[in-house]
Amino acid sequence: MKEVMKELMDLQVGKVLEQEPLANHTTIKIGGPADLFVEPSSIENLEKTMKIIRKYNLKWRAIGRGSNLLVSDKGIEGVVIKLGAGIDHLEIDDDVIKVGGGYSLVSLATQISRKGLSGMEFAGGIPGSVGGAVYMNAGAHGSDISKILVKAHILFEDGTFEWLSNEEMEFSYRTSVLQKKRPGIVIEAVFKLEKGNREEIVAKIQENKNYRKETQPYNYPCAGSIFRNPLPQYAGRLIQEAGLKGHRIGGAKISEMHGNFIVNAGNATSEDVLALIQHVKDVILEKYGVKMETEVEIIGRK
């Protein structure tokens, strides 16, 4: 890795760190070290980084703001690319916006609401980056990313870049083509919004933010919703009815505020969280015959 690190630093691609703990970059504050951690300072420098990764045939993966992510205590093999500062540009052209994958989704929703643009009110309070939100078709309050996305600029596993249309993204509930069929990361997105009443849009965003503060435990480190809703049922409701709120394994605890959140109540490890996830799956299957699937992405060395 020393040689790779030297080449990346010589190219001045951005921040380059060895053995960087991923706990510093996830909202649940859990995760072992990345062999190499790179935060490119532009899309051009991301392309340079990918050329070096391909040259050395290294494993890699990208992260955004680290929500909806559980990283192994043993860390991640190869290179972790963080889309952050430098890939967080925003261009507004009438009712069409182009935004970098590293841009905060909450900040974006707030910014465009002030411009009197409607369509992202659902995102008020959703943590994470634009790239991550497109990747998993994030949504709330009856809407989601698929309703507003025109196209997304994708970096694929083989290092190639391509724009995919909304149709090509093959969106469905909390998923897209990028999760299984064509693994890749979102480095830019273009959204089409609607002009509306600025005051009403701003008020709706604030209402959604307040709802999250009142119903979800963001005062503790957490990864967001742990399970997908097994529709027509809701994960949080099933967990609550099963009496699992407050159940704890090690430093990981099911929130007493919302059943579909596991919080880091103090020095939790990924093993603690995984054990708690498995416990919930077992109890819900036994009590209700419902198979729970995780929404949080679990990555890293086993």
What one-character DSSP code corresponds to residue 235? H
Say whether 95 sits in a helix, a strand or coil.
Answer: coil
**Cis peptide leading into 221, omega within 30 of 0?**
no
Q: Is 29 left (phi over 0), alpha (psi -120 to 50) or beta?
A: left
Cα separation of 181 and 164, whole Å?
13
Burial class (CB in 10 A: 0-12, 13-18, 19+), 53: buried
CA distance 209 to 39: 29
Cβ(221)–Cβ(27) under 8 Å?
Answer: yes
Catalytic residues, by residue number, are 174, 225, 295
The residue assigned the tokens 């052209």 is 93
CA distance 167 to 28: 33
